[in-house]
Amino acid sequence: MKLEELQQMKEKMEDGYLPQWVVTDPEIYNLEQERIFSKTWLFLGHESELKEPGQFITRMMADDPILLMKNKNGEIKAFLNSCSHRGTRLCTEDFGKKKTHTCPYHGWSYNLDGELIGIVAGNKVYGEKMDKSEWGLRPVPRVESYQGMIFGNLNFNAVPLEEYLGEMKWYFDIMLGRSDGGMEVRGLPQRWVAKANWKMTSENFAADPYHVQTTHRSAVEMKLTPTDPLYASYGHQVVLSNGHGINVITSATGESANKYQGMPESMWPMFEKNLNKEQLEVFSKVTNFVGGVFPNLSFLSSCSGSEGTKHNHLNFRVWRPIAPDKVEIWVWYMIDKELPEDYKEKSYKGFLATFGAAGTLEQDDTENWARIIEASQGRMARDRKLSYNNVANYLMGFDNVEPDENFPGPGIAYPTCYTDHAARSMHKYWLELLMKESEGEG
Ligand code: FES
Ligand code: FE
């Protein structure tokens, strides 16, 4: 794809338009794999999934299968899940605990540091010359964590994770660092494949509370959410560095009937010890945090249940692109480790009813994403002549919403969540990354 074409798209985006065909185009998809998913920090899992030495989980980073394990020293190591003999997938399980991983093909085995420690018939078939130390598993170039969240990066020269997260760390501290002992993942991440483009799913969380009243109308009808058409607009949409974004949703008055997202009062002193004044101000008023770390990690911290029995839950999700029109969705449920067991149980049930593969709200969203693909793959929608009106509309809040200087958190905060500021920022960053290599290539 030519640099001019990307540049032209960026100019369109500056004006609030995004060509519709970018959600189904194979060339764009290949560029994204090379220039975004090979170079940015991708979420792999949470440290609570690897509590003891020997525990392992298998994940995907773009198209690479990854094996994460905790070694004897308690360090988390991540490798390409591929045997160094003939390359077959080494570990075929999703999770477990073992001291050594033995390949199912010819039986080579590896320890928790990825070192090759055993070869079937060893010296008898390879002689003395083969040096086992040269045939260990290939480590993921960079693995770093923040607040228990483990990320990997295929780019040795990437900026440190914390620098990449930037202002998002302040919000992660509220969601993930408020309790002593941090968060824990409950159950396994749910996983399924959906017809969708990863940009639309990421945007839905980072930048689009506007869809809530229409897409999730059944929640209004079940009296789970208010009838007010502006209900998900109250609060602030915050544009963060590197294409990240977050919506800090409050009630219409800006105050929440459920302080600290309705969590038990016994937890409050701990929150007040672990968070600063500004973080507490935001946390005491928020009803939902919904946002995303570019490119494809999204999160939602909300309360579910009827009034008076609301339970907070936090879910993180990865939209792993597997084709221009397909994502593999991974959803983790997380909860404060310190919360009483009965609270966790009720919260988990509330999560399962609303989000995850069988959640009602999740399925509302998934249908719309599939319909975007269906309506964007035909000849009219794919026509690249930009004179055609084949663009999606990102004009909300374009020149009628100004930043709120009094918002206590970092980032550029707009005093409504019904605006396209975060979406425009995310798509502009996406185009910047796509153009980067083109410039170098001349
Ligand atoms: Fe693993 Fe041969 S491919 S031992
Ligand atoms: Fe939704």
Q: Which ligand lies nearest the alpha carbon of 369?
A: 2
Class of domain 44-145: mainly beta
pLDDT digits (tens, 9 = 90+) for 99-111: 999 999 999 999 9
- Give residues (CB < 6 A) around ligand 1: 83, 85-86, 88, 103, 105-108
pLDDT score at 200: 97
Beta bridge partners of 185: 334
Q: pLDDT band at residue 306, thresholds of 50, 70 and 90?
A: low
Q: Is the pLDDT of residue 151 over 50?
A: yes
At residue 439, does pLDDT exceed 60?
A: no
**At residue 440, does pLDDT exceed 60?**
no
Contact 346, 314 (CB under 8 A): no
Q: For residue 103, which atom of ligand 1 is closest to its CA?
A: 1
pLDDT above 70 as % of the chain: 97
Task: Point out the ligand 1 atom lying closest to the alpha carbon of residue 104.
Answer: 1
Of 105, 109, 120, best ligand 1 pocket probe by most atoms within 8 Å of the beta carbon = 105
Whether 260 contacts 268, CB under 8 Å: yes
- Phi, psi values for residue 77, rounded to 5°: -115, 145
**What is the value of pTM for the model shown?**
0.95
350 CA from centroid of ligand 2 (Å): 16
Mean of the per-residue pLDDT values of the chain: 93
What residue's CA is closest to ligand 1, atom 4?
106
CA–CA gap between residue 194 and residue 161 (Å, rounded): 29
pLDDT in tens, 320-343: 999 999 999 999 999 999 999 999
Residue closest via CA to ligand 1's atom 2 equals 106
Closest C-alpha among 424, 407, 427 to residue 415: 407
Which ligand lies nearest the alpha carbon of 105? Answer: 1
- Residue holding tokens 């995004």? 18
Task: Using the mean position of ligand 2's atoms as its centre, give its distance from the Cα of residue 334 in Å.
Answer: 19
Residue-level pLDDT at 128: 81
pLDDT given for residue 438 in this prediction: 60
**Residue 441: is its pLDDT beyond 60?**
no
Cα gap 10→16, rounded to integer Å: 10
pLDDT of residue 386: 56
- The encoded tokens of residue 359 equal 């959640």
68-83 average pLDDT score: 98
The pLDDT tens digits of the residues spanning 188-217 come to 999 999 999 999 999 999 999 999 999 999
Give the model's pLDDT for residue 214. Answer: 94
CB atoms within 10 A of CB 141: 13
Flag whether pLDDT at 170 surpasses 80. yes
Atom of ligand 1 nearest to the CA of 106: 4
Q: What percent of the chain has pLDDT over 90?
A: 80
Write down the residue that tokens 């308690």 correspond to.
Answer: 74
Are 28 and 324 in contact by the 8 Å Cβ rule? The answer is yes
Q: Which ligand 1 atom is at minimum distance from the Cα of 83?
A: 1
Q: Render the burial of 14-46: b for 16+ CB within 10 Å, e for the rest.
A: eebbbbbbbbbbeebbebbeebbbbbbbbbbbb
pLDDT digits (tens, 9 = 90+) for 338-351: 999 999 999 998 88
Residue nearest to ligand 1 atom 3, measured at CA: 86
Q: Which atom of ligand 1 is nearest to the CA of 108?
A: 4
Nearest listed ligand to the Cα of residue 92: 1
Q: Going by C-beta distance under 8 Å and a sequence separation of 6 or more, which residues neighbour residue 377?
A: 24, 325
Burial of 57 (0-12, 13-18, 19+ CB in 10 A): buried
| C-alpha distances out from residue 31 to 37, 82, 195, 431, Å | 9, 25, 20, 11
For residue 442, pLDDT over 50 is answered with: no
Tokens encoding 429 = 């960053």
The correct CATH number of 166-436 out of 3.40.640.10, 3.40.720.10, 3.90.380.10, 3.30.420.10 is: 3.90.380.10
What is the three-state SS of the chain?
CCHHHHHHHHHHHHCCEEEHHHHCCHHHHHHHHHHCCCCCCEEEEEHHHCCCCCEEEEEEECCEEEEEEECCCCCEEEEECCCCCCCCCCCCCCEEECCCEECCCCCCEECCCCCEEECCCHHHHHCCCCCHHHCCCCECCEEEEECCEEEEECCCCCCCHHHHHCCHHHHHHHHHCCCCCCEEECCCCEEEEEECCHHHHHHHHHHCHHHHHHHCHHHHHCCCCCCCCCCCCCEEEEECHHHCEEEEECCCCCCCCCHHHHCCHHHHHHHHHHCCHHHHHHHHHCCEEEEEECCCEEEEEEEECCCCCCEEEEEEEEEEEEECCEEEEEEEEEEECCCCHHHHHHHHHHHHHHCCCCCHHHHHHHHHHHHHHHHHCCHHHHCCCCCCCCEEECCCCCCCCCCCCCCCCCCEEECCCCCCHHHHHHHHHHHHHHHHHHHHHC
Residue ranges of domains in the chain: 44-145, 166-436
